[in-house]
Structure 1
């Protein structure tokens, strides 16, 4: 069975190892985080502190945008955009990775504590009953402080999450 994770699109560009997991993985990506890629590509603000890493990540962001704009993938994504919370058919990345795009909607449920993208990530994780994968330690801290019912993994624990992560039914009971 595929491991499923809710994730921001930019994390795939930043962490290349996410595209070569040890077993099949499905990444559930809120559509708004794909839109963020366009903002990052066009911005003069660095994505990474090191100039060489920043150039590399911005190149990967461009490649990811091209992937999403591929005509077949674009058609699949457009299907998801027909109604809130609708999902795209799986987008095949390689033998072990698929993307599913969700047209998530921020309903302000967590808007006091979390920004709109974080809120959509949380709501998607709850809706999909899938753990959240993030590199934002502040987000993990806020999840613990606010007791949001979401399982989350730091990207540094990715291999553990893939190998030993709980299945959806187990996750609901913890």
Structure 2
């Protein structure tokens, strides 16, 4: 059900900003050199104001990445300015000895979204919204629950 209140939802659902990034390392030994710095950086990130959670992912052959959630863009940028993060990024971008590529995307959450059940602040209700969010030139989206049609006549079923 549509909402703007995520107060009963998990921490990452309450985040206003999501960071997604990846680094393509040169070889596994670069990962090993990176591991200690990365653990230190994650420990520091967890203590930052506005931190909501993170996940680390692997993409073959040598890409490691982070997805992290923060309350605000300012909270994320404060973390980016920490000494540990700066040192790690300097190490990663030191020519092509340790890594050969990297990317970052930052996403901002819309104020509205959807919750159901125990994560719904407006009450423990499990049900569909009536219509999808409009797209393009639509003023109202189509119904979420499809109306069943009579196979023989093609008319809407009534029963």
Greater fraction of residues in helix: 1
Q: Higher relative CO (CA 8 A, sep ≥ 6), structure 1 or 2?
A: 2
Give the shorter-chain TM-score range.
under 0.3
Please say which structure displays the higher CA radius of gyration.
2
Greater fraction of residues in strand: 2
The normalised TM-score by structure 2 is 0.25
The normalised TM-score by structure 1 is 0.23
